[in-house]
Copies of this chain bind each other. A is one copy, B any other.
């Protein structure tokens, strides 16, 4: 349950009053849970719940682990991040898909079909919520598009540069900070870490980028 102050910051409950918020929680059979770092938030392999999760506070990550145990970061989920079976990955049967807590999190679970169904009460707050949800889904689609943009590049060099340009654009500056470690970055662009390090060194030597730890500058 969010406090009144937290509610105002919530991307999902924007423009919704505290009273409306409370009645909506009931209406949608919503459940809010808190997690600590490294907690398992959600496991797609257990087919029990078809709920949708929305990150209200903190950070989480969607991880895929394939048959050989290789882990890949599929998505980074900040506040407003949405995840759920219905809107992700058929999940090639063999591998497991999990949402893992990065920093202490509040996550709201909602029965998604309930949102898409027309409310018999035709309640006004419902439609505001749907509108907010649409905003979140647009953001998600955009984030995924950018990911595809990076992954569809044909070499490590191009992948790195593409991702750097995205970060630089987001930061509004030539200098920016990686949201995760270099090891995770290799994972994110779906290549071998050592190969990526080599390419990174080359980029530095050629004067294309400058880097210090996780801080980078495009030249």
Give which listed residue, B15, B70, B147, B166, contacts A148 with CB less than 8 A. Answer: B147
**Total contacting residues, chain A, CB less than 8 A:** 50
| A153 to chain B: closest residue by CB | B190
Q: Are A74 and B149 in contact (CB under 8 A)?
A: yes
> For the complex, what is the distance from the CA of A93 to the CA of B72, rounded to whole Å?
28
Q: A142: CB under 8 A from chain B? A: yes
Majority secondary structure of chain A interface residues (helix, strand, loop or mixed): helix
Which residues A132-148 have CB closer than 8 A to chain B? 133-135, 137-138, 140-142, 144-148
Check A146/B190 contact, CB under 8 A, given A130-B131, A134-B130, A151-B151: no
Contact string against B for A residues 58-81, beta-carbon threshold 8 Å, 1 for contact and 0 otherwise: 000000100000101010000000
Q: Are B137 and A92 in contact (CB under 8 A)?
A: no
Q: A46: CB under 8 A from chain B? A: no
For this complex, 10 residue pairs linking A to B, each with C-beta atoms less than 8 Å apart, are: A15-B118, A82-B141, A88-B142, A90-B146, A90-B169, A130-B130, A134-B137, A137-B141, A144-B148, A154-B190
